[in-house]
Amino acid sequence: MSRVIATFFFFGLLKPGPGTWGSLAALPAFFALHVTGGPLLCVVAIAIALAAGFWATRIETRRMGDPDPGEIVIDEVAGQWLALMPLSLGAAHVGVGIGALWPGWIAAFALFRLFDIWKPGPVGWVDARGDAAGVMLDDIVAGAFAAIGVIVLAAIAHGVLT
C-alpha cells in the first residue's frame, strides 16, 4: 500500500519526469474532489495526502535506500492540490464551475512545477533536510508559493491590482 500511495497509483513510475506526471495526475483528481465536495473536501484531501504521504514516503525511502527517489510523487500531488486551492475557493465563492477558471489551472500547474524544480529559498531549505519530511514539505512550500502566485495573477487579471 505504501508504494501505491507514494507513487500516486503508479503515476510516479512514468518516465521521463515522474514529478510532472504526478502533478498532471493531480489535476483531474482535484477537479473530481472539488465537484464532489467543494473546497472543504479539497482541504480534507490535502490533509489526507499529507498524512498518508509522510507515512508512505518514510517507508519507501527506507525500503529503496534513497532519501528522495523520483518515483515518489505523492508530495507533488499534495503540493499541486495546495496550488489549486485558490481556484476551488474562488469558484465556490462566485458560484461558477471550477472548469471556468481554466487560466488559473494553467497558472497553478506552471507555477507549482517552476517552484518545485527551481527550489527557491524556503523550498530548497526544506528539501535539503534529506529525509521523508523534506521530500513532502518542499512541495508543500512550493504549492503555497504557487497558490500565492495564482492569487496575485487572478487579482491582476480581474483588475484588483491595477
The predicted-structure confidence for 73-90, as pLDDT tens digits, reads as follows 999 999 999 999 999 999
pTM of the model: 0.96
Return left, alpha or beta for 8; rule: phi > 0 is left, psi -120 to 50 is alpha, else beta. left
pLDDT, one tens digit per residue, over 149-162 is: 999 999 999 988 76
Cβ atoms within 10 A of the Cβ of 32, count?
Answer: 12
Q: Which helix or strand (DSSP H or E) is residue 117 part of?
A: helix 102-118
Among 74, 48, 44, 46, which residue's Cα sits nearest to residue 59?
Answer: 74
Residues in the chain: 162
